[in-house]
A and B are shown apart, each in its own frame.
Chain A
Amino acid sequence: MRILKAIVAHPTGRIGAAIIAIYLLLAVCGYFGFTPHDPLQQFRVDRLKPPSSSYLMGTDLFGRDTASRLMAGIGQSFIIAFASVGLATLLGTIIGLLAGWWGGLLDGVFMRSMDMLLAFPAILLALLIIAIVGPGTATSVVAIAAVYTPIFARVVRGPVLTLKRRDFVDAARTFGSSQGYILSRHMLLNLVAPLTVQVTLALAWALLTEAGLSFLGLGTQPPAPSLGLMMSEARNLMQQAPWLLAFPGLTIMLGILGFNLFGDALRDILDPRSQGRSS
């Protein structure tokens, strides 16, 4: 609550929060079917119609309503972004915690594996995973998570290394607290701030990555709408139907902008010393 208030007070954080809130609302409406038209219904007599009162943002090659598809598409892109970042956070935190806490061989093995994933070109890593498993929502989630897990592992391991030498951890140990208790209670609490910031920024990156994968035809499968897919379907129609490129493009940009603004504001609030330090 305190943080929410601070964000509302923050000049750009407010804008970011507003954008995310509006997107979430649109996504929920899209998910529950409160859209102007059915996003999958093909009004094939009304193909490639420019924006009008019946189709607010025009129609695509199949005569589907762009505005409705955008609403559903935001949901789809958000689900992939949230799920992949969630998965990456979970795996990254576990790996970073264990590596930092136990050190030694485990640390070596875990962190070298993470280095390995980092050294692997990101889009090729995602591409290989997708080619093996076959494209789809779940695969996109796994592929994007694989790219971001090492980053979270690093973000977590650093503070754990410092924290474990701190007095309060020693104190907890002398009082006989179990390792599990110390890890979950002391470590995780102290990791919340850096993680939250990283999560918000990673969401922005995940949205970009999803758009890129869809652009290469590897993301969400048609006819399900996703922002990246809509753009890749529209690129060869750029001249006949510019609205098909413009609206999804703007929607992606604004969405990512929202998360970037929100993340920056969070960083200012939670960690005022290191403004923009970590990238």
Chain B
Amino acid sequence: MPYLARRLLTFPLILIGVSLLVFFSIRMIPGDAITAMLGTESGLLTPVQRQALAEYFGIDQPVLVQYGRWLSGVMQGDLGLSVTHGRPVLTIILERFPLTLELALLSMVIALGIGVPAGVLAATQSERPSDVTVRIIAMLGQSTPGFVVGLVIIYVLSVYFGFVPTMGSFVPIWVDPLANLAQLIFPAITLGFAFAASVTRISRASMLDVLSDDYVRTARAKGVPKLSVVWHHALPNALIPVVTLSGVEFGYLLGGAVIVEQIFALPGLGRLTLEAIGQRDYALVQGCVLFIAFNFLIVNLLVDLAYAALDPRIRLGAR
């Protein structure tokens, strides 16, 4: 499959571009690991002390030398050592990734679980009150900033129910499924709210589209019951754009949801990257961004492949 080969060939190029961009831009920000660790006290350091710390943090070499060293490490699967965590970058990322992955999956389940039925309902009831209601809610969902939803959820939970999801550390699903769900369900709802809104809108639009297609009309004319037409004939085709949308959105979510992770104190990839930037932990920032970009590329490739597989009218490479 030449298309797939061509796509895969561009991956390293894009990733090198991303790594260059992050490597040099993070070093252009004023301040370094020394000021990040010591704050204003770093002004008390003597030149010898400063040099000793720069060596310790690996920032005493020229930037190009640092990049060459880092890149050759990456080629051998070594993303370097985080100076704040004192551990390999890859190990830290892989520890944080399960949370991000699960949160993304859970949000997608919520979004599809609510969005698709709501969209189908709205399409079949087109222009009736239930359609209008669904559309208004979906519109509002798309128009509300995530941090508002998150803050309101935490406030309501803690004030009215005396409950907050476990914060600070992650309870993995293989350790305790129920506690894991209790921890992630509310952040997932926060993320899933806007996500569900887009899914609803796109399912509705695409369902309307398909319902007006000839083969659906033929089926109706042949006396197939309406529900059966909707669920068996129309839905599979109507789902194609939904798959694309959720795939792309999922790709974004795998990059971590900075604000939601911040509000719910979840140790995910987004916060990891944000904090690494704040602490000028260069190796960790580079590793995170590279990892996120890699996931994004893979997910998008899969989405394109799924799109082609679902819709025979689309030829790969034409997009």
By a CB distance below 8 angstroms, the chain B residues around A131 are: 29, 277
Please determine whether A277 and B145 come into contact, CB atoms closer than 8 angstroms: no
Does residue B190 face the partner (Cβ distance < 8 Å to A)?
A: no
Q: Which of A30-38, A58-66, A210-218 is the interface stretch?
A: A210-218
Does residue A29 face the partner (Cβ distance < 8 Å to B)?
A: no
* Interchain CA distance A204-B292 in the complex, whole Å: 25
Please determine whether A216 and B10 come into contact, CB atoms closer than 8 angstroms: no
Please determine whether A158 and B143 come into contact, CB atoms closer than 8 angstroms: no
Does residue A163 face the partner (Cβ distance < 8 Å to B)?
A: no
By a CB distance below 8 angstroms, the chain A residues around B198 are: 279
Given A208-B145, A275-B208; A238-B155 close (CB under 8 Å): yes
Please determine whether B151 and A238 come into contact, CB atoms closer than 8 angstroms: yes
Which residues of chain B in 126-170 are interfacial with respect to chain A, using CB atoms and an 8 Å cutoff? Answer: 135, 139-140, 142-148, 151, 155
Please determine whether B145 and A132 come into contact, CB atoms closer than 8 angstroms: no
Given A115-B10, A235-B151; A212-B259 close (CB under 8 Å): yes
Given A113-B17, A121-B255; A276-B148 close (CB under 8 Å): no
* Interchain CA distance A139-B120 in the complex, whole Å: 42
Please determine whether B143 and A116 come into contact, CB atoms closer than 8 angstroms: no
Q: Which of A39-47, A179-187, A253-261 is the interface stretch?
A: A253-261
Interface size class of B (residues with CB under 8 A): 35 or more
Cross-interface CB contact of A119 among B139, B155, B204, B296, cutoff 8 Å = B296
Please determine whether B259 and A204 come into contact, CB atoms closer than 8 angstroms: no
By a CB distance below 8 angstroms, the chain A residues around B252 are: 121-122
Please determine whether B273 and A121 come into contact, CB atoms closer than 8 angstroms: yes
- Residue numbers of A with Cβ under 8 A of B are 12, 112-113, 115-116, 118-124, 127-129, 131-132, 158, 204, 208, 211-212, 215-216, 228, 231, 235, 238, 245, 249, 252-254, 256-257, 260-261, 275-277, 279
Cross-interface CB contact of A132 among B25, B248, B292, B319, cutoff 8 Å = B25
Cross-interface CB contact of B259 among A121, A128, A129, A216, cutoff 8 Å = A216
Cross-interface CB contact of B319 among A113, A158, A235, A277, cutoff 8 Å = A158
Does residue B105 face the partner (Cβ distance < 8 Å to A)?
A: no
Does residue B114 face the partner (Cβ distance < 8 Å to A)?
A: no
Please determine whether B274 and A215 come into contact, CB atoms closer than 8 angstroms: no
Which residues of chain B in 228-276 are interfacial with respect to chain A, using CB atoms and an 8 Å cutoff? Answer: 241, 244-245, 248, 252, 255-256, 258-259, 270, 273-274
Please determine whether B206 and A112 come into contact, CB atoms closer than 8 angstroms: no
* Interchain CA distance A257-B144 in the complex, whole Å: 9
Does residue B201 face the partner (Cβ distance < 8 Å to A)?
A: yes
Main SS class of interface, A: helix
> How far, in Å, is B319 (CB) from chain A's closest CB?
7
Interface pairs A-B: 7 shortest CB-CB: A276-B205, A256-B143, A119-B293, A121-B255, A116-B17, A257-B143, A131-B29
By a CB distance below 8 angstroms, the chain A residues around B245 are: 279
* Interchain CA distance A158-B317 in the complex, whole Å: 11
By a CB distance below 8 angstroms, the chain A residues around B15 are: 119
Given A116-B21, A119-B14, A119-B296; A276-B145 close (CB under 8 Å): no
Given A249-B148, A279-B245; A127-B205 close (CB under 8 Å): no
By a CB distance below 8 angstroms, the chain B residues around A277 are: 205-206, 209, 241
Using CB atoms, name the residue of chain B closest to A277.
Answer: B241
Given A119-B296, A120-B21, A260-B142; A279-B151 close (CB under 8 Å): no
* Interchain CA distance A211-B147 in the complex, whole Å: 9
Given A260-B139, A279-B198, A279-B245; A127-B289 close (CB under 8 Å): no
By a CB distance below 8 angstroms, the chain A residues around B10 are: 112, 115
By a CB distance below 8 angstroms, the chain B residues around A115 are: 10, 14, 297
What are 20 inter-chain pairs, A to B, with CB distance below 8 A?
A: A112-B14, A112-B17, A116-B293, A119-B292, A120-B22, A120-B293, A121-B255, A121-B296, A122-B252, A124-B289, A128-B22, A128-B277, A132-B28, A208-B145, A256-B142, A257-B139, A260-B143, A261-B139, A277-B205, A279-B245
By a CB distance below 8 angstroms, the chain B residues around A279 are: 198, 202, 241, 244-245, 248
By a CB distance below 8 angstroms, the chain A residues around B147 are: 212, 215, 231
